[in-house]
Amino acid sequence: MATPEIDFDLCIGCGSCVEVCPEVFQLQDDKAVVIGPDKCGSCNCQEAADICPTQAIRLG
C-alpha cells in the first residue's frame, strides 16, 4: 500500500486533499499533514494526489 507524503514547500493549503480524504489528511497551520497514512480504503490516495493542484502529495 502506498504511503502518502506531503511536500510542505509545494502545499498551498487549499484543502482539496482533506475534502477527498479526511481520514488521511488534515489541515494544520495552513498546510496539509498526513494523519492516517494507512487509512485510505479505496484508492491508495491516488485520488488525493491527482486532485492536488501543486503535486504536493507524493505516494511513497
Does residue 14 interact with ligand SF4 by CB under 6 A? yes
Does residue 56 interact with ligand SF4 by CB under 6 A? yes
Q: Minimal distance in Å, beta carbon 22 to ligand SF4?
A: 11
- If residue 30 lies in a helix (H) or strand (E), which one and from where to where? none
Q: Minimal distance in Å, beta carbon 41 to ligand SF4?
A: 19
CA dist 8 and 10 (Å) reads 5
- Read off the amino acid at residue 25: F
Does residue 11 interact with ligand SF4 by CB under 6 A? yes
Q: Residues 37, 3: contact at Cβ < 8 Å?
A: yes
